[in-house]
Structure 1
């Protein structure tokens, strides 16, 4: 399992549009991927799951993956979050 923490850069957080980009990117990988905020963990490939976390700007989230391409998956998602989703 590969795990990395990242702070959400964009001000509004993971609302519908950025969350869609996030899950689309997650679905490019075969690994099982999760997002964790505080004590809640959801499937990173589930739009409803990601939105249910209520992630706002300035929040630190944990991205974790388990599988053949786990490191590439986590690094790609962390890079996307750090980019601020081009907002």
Structure 2
């Protein structure tokens, strides 16, 4: 299991449909991917979970991945959330 903390950039401005696109990024990987902030912990591959989580600019998010491609998954999720 690997973790990475990231501050969310302005994903709403950077992407045309940030919620769906974030789920698409997560679904590219075999690893289980969760996003955590405060008491909330959601499955990054769940569009309903992402909608409820609502990652927004300035939010501190901990990305947790567990699986064979967890490092690649962490890096891709970080790039998306930080708009890199």
Using structure 2 for the length normalisation, give the TM-score. Answer: 0.88
Residue 75 (structure 1) aligns with: 75
Any residues of structure 2 matched to 1:1-87 within 5 Å, and which? 1-10=1-10, 12=12, 17-83=17-83
The answer for unaligned runs of 5 or more in structure 2 is none
Shift of 1:12: 4.5
Shift of 1:54: 2.9
Moved over 2 A (4+): none
Per-residue Cα deviation, 1:4-46 (whole angstroms, up to 9, x for no partner): 0111110758xx9211111101000000110111111010000
Q: Secondary structure at the match of 1:61?
A: strand
Q: Secondary structure at the match of 1:75?
A: helix
Q: Secondary structure at the match of 1:56?
A: coil
Q: Secondary structure at the match of 1:23?
A: helix
In angstroms, what is the RMSD of aligned CA positions?
1.8
Using structure 1 for the length normalisation, give the TM-score. Answer: 0.85
Aligned length: 82
